[in-house]
Chains A and B, each alone.
Chain A
Amino acid sequence: MQSFTLVVFGAPDSQSSSTALNYAKAVLKAGHHIYRLFFYQDGVFNACSFNTPSQDEENSSVNWQTLIQEHELDAVVCVASALKRGIVNAAEAERYELAASNLRQGFEISGLGQLIDGVIQSDRVVNFLP
């Protein structure tokens, strides 16, 4: 069994995000381990709980969340990318006195150090570029 860290750069409606999701499913199906999902730059929009695409569209955020919760994956959202784009958990919302928090359940906010930790700890790191 090999371990993987996946870096997701693509927003929910990009193919890049969907490629990463399909790849994550294939990694798990092959019996390997996902050490970490790291959502970076526009990829952090996948962690927004306010995403409400129209009915005939897939909700990529929900698809990620389902995978994360079913397999209890470590899903880290880059804090600098998230704050810049208005994705906040309750603690950040309070600290910056924002009207609401919107981090989807299953995701956690942390620093870029978690990406470097992924490089150090996992057998493979795959970047899904925008």
Chain B
Amino acid sequence: MTLKNILIIIRQAPYSSLLPAAALDVLLTAAAFEQPITLLFMGEGVQHLLSAQNSTGSGMKNISKALPSLELYEVDQVFMEKDALANRKLENEKLVLQVESLSLNQIADAIEKADQVFNF
């Protein structure tokens, strides 16, 4: 089977848009097809990583709960934009999983290396 390097970028804040949930669904499906996947949280998207989120009673899906189990799907390339937490004064917050940071230059490289980017 042809393998395509798929980069999924989550850039929208939680609960404001349907796109982050769609990004996760695309990611899990691509993983089922055994495609090489990279997940990147960028800009407002880094807020998905905050573990203090509690959407109970809101009727909204908290997708951060699914993030720690990504490894089970062999998705281990998970990154966030460097400084995105610090720029929001969130650098000391507890996160749902530890992820490596990428500089904008490294993000540009990741985009160039990918065969397909889903920037949600």
Contact = CB atoms under 8 A, between A and B. Distances in A.
- Direct A–B contact in the complex, CB atoms closer than 8 angstroms: yes
Contacts of B35: 116, 119-120
Interface string A110-124: 011101110111000
Contacts of B2: 120-121
Interface in A67-117: 80, 111-113, 115-117
B33 A113 contact: yes
A37 interface: no
B4 interface: yes
B19 A119 contact: no
Interface residues of B, number: 19
A130 to B, nearest CB: 8
Contacts of A129: 19, 120
B30 to A, nearest CB: 5
Given A113-B33, A116-B29, A40 B1 contact: no
A125 B118 CA distance: 10
A85 to B, nearest CB: 11
A19 interface: no
B4 A120 contact: yes
29 contacts: A40-B22, A41-B18, A41-B22, A42-B18, A80-B25, A112-B25, A112-B29, A113-B32, A113-B33, A115-B26, A115-B29, A116-B26, A116-B29, A116-B30, A116-B32, A116-B33, A117-B33, A119-B4, A119-B30, A119-B35, A119-B115, A119-B116, A120-B4, A120-B35, A127-B118, A127-B119, A129-B120, A130-B18, A130-B19
Closest 9 CB pairs of A and B: A112-B29, A116-B33, A119-B116, A116-B30, A120-B2, A116-B29, A119-B4, A41-B18, A125-B116
